[in-house]
Amino acid sequence: MNPIKLVELLRGHRIFIQTHNFPDPDAIASAFGLQCFLEKHGVESTICYDGKIDKLSTKKMFSVFGIDVRSKYEISDMKEEDYIIVVDAQKYNSNITDFIGDEIACIDHHPTFKECDYQYKDVRIVGACSSIIADYFRQTRTELPMNVASALAYGIKMDTADFTRGAFPFDAEVFSYVFERADIHLINDMYMNVMEMTDLKAYGAAIDNIHLKGEIGFAKIPFDCPDALIAIISDFVLSLDIVTVSIVYAERVDGIKFSVRSEIPEVDAGVVAKEALKGIGDGGGHRDMAGGFIPGDRVLGIGPQRDKKIERRFLDVIRSKGL
């Protein structure tokens, strides 16, 4: 896609850049990078989201890189004629709220499960959405400020787990481009003092509850836990030498949140999450990593031995793939 066409589409309109409901570093960096790109071409925009940001490392991005993000409750004046660009997500996904504005554009790196008729669509299966935004600066030779380059580099590093998960040559190419223009001190700052005591409790609970079904590792966190932390713990379970697929889930007041990881080609984590939760919730994502959610009212309907029934759903889907 030609990003200049997006700029021309947006001129004369009020613009919002919307991330998914629990934005992670890649979502924040992508939105911030896009906001800067549009600004360099004369288009102002506001970054927004629903849900919450409760991971310390993600919140730290705001101060380190100078990012202004507005919650749903801070944009109560959004109108139907306002334009929305969905970033690192897609309309109709379970992890994004349908705001009153018009979703005219989408920039994402996840597979599409339900089509939407955007006026501008740039969906590429790459390691990080930040890579796509970085490419906008590269291909148009748009000035890339140091703090924005740093944020995009950090977003790429985080979503690809330092190029060990779901990364493509494209991610490495654009990472080299932004890294040359980044401030390494800002990136390093993001790795300092970002763990909270509640993180340790979640790790402890997951370790206490890890159990294996062959090469499949399950872990339950019996209390509310941020999306980003659930994903990190899922990576941790996958790092065990005998685990090739991990499923970590956390109890919430409004339901159960899942993170799925796979390191074998035969088991697509996105497909597993979607099929295992079909009829009781929703899920999806990449081949290597995915997420899912069962709403509270559906959780009650599962009945007794809930955890065993949920895990059986995942086991049946994964074993049908040959593991």
Which residue among 150, 167, 189 closes a domain? 189
Task: Give the domain extent around 250.
Answer: 197-320
Q: Which residues contact 313 (CB under 8 A, 6 or more apart)?
A: 276, 277, 280
Across 197-223, average pLDDT: 89
pLDDT at 193: 61
The most confident of 23-27, 133-137, 207-211, by mean pLDDT: 133-137
**138 and 13 together in one domain:** yes
> How does pLDDT run across 134-185, given as a tens digit for each residue?
999 999 999 999 999 999 999 999 999 889 888 999 999 999 999 999 999 9
CATH number of the domain residue 124 falls in? 3.90.1640.10
**210 and 132 together in one domain:** no
Q: Are 94 and 270 in contact (CB under 8 A)?
A: no
Single-letter amino acid, residue 5:
K
Parallel, antiparallel, or unpaired for β 83-87 and 15-18? Answer: parallel
Q: Has residue 194 got a pLDDT over 70?
A: no
The proportion of the chain whose per-residue pLDDT surpasses 90, expressed as a percent, equals: 71
Which residue among 169, 189, 209 closes a domain? 189
**152 and 271 together in one domain:** no
Lowest mean pLDDT among 10-19, 187-196, 265-274, 280-289: 187-196
**147 and 180 together in one domain:** yes
> How does pLDDT run across 74-109, given as a tens digit for each residue?
998 999 999 999 999 999 887 899 999 999 999 999
Secondary element (H or E) of residue 213: strand 211-213
pLDDT at 98: 93
Sign of CA dihedral 188, 189, 192, 194: negative
**183 and 208 together in one domain:** no
Across 287-309, average pLDDT: 91
CATH number of the domain residue 251 falls in? 3.10.310.40
**23 and 151 together in one domain:** yes
Q: Has residue 59 got a pLDDT over 90?
A: no
Which residue among 157, 189, 221 closes a domain? 189
Across 287-298, average pLDDT: 91
**208 and 170 together in one domain:** no
Across 219-226, average pLDDT: 89
Distances, alpha carbon 207 to alpha carbons 55, 108, 222, 234, 243, in Å: 20, 33, 12, 11, 14
**260 and 284 together in one domain:** yes
Helices then strands (H, E): number in the chain? 12, 12
Q: Please give the Cα distance from 177 to 179 (Å, whole number).
A: 6
Across 292-304, average pLDDT: 90
**172 and 50 together in one domain:** yes
Domain total of the chain: 2
Single out the residue of 300, 210, 219 nearest to residue 254, CA to CA.
300
Q: Please give the Cα distance from 284 to 280 (Å, whole number).
A: 14
**147 and 225 together in one domain:** no
Question: For tokens 């969906």, what's the residue?
Answer: 123
Q: Please give the Cα distance from 160 to 166 (Å, whole number).
A: 6
**274 and 257 together in one domain:** yes
Q: Are 310 and 249 in contact (CB under 8 A)?
A: yes
**156 and 35 together in one domain:** yes
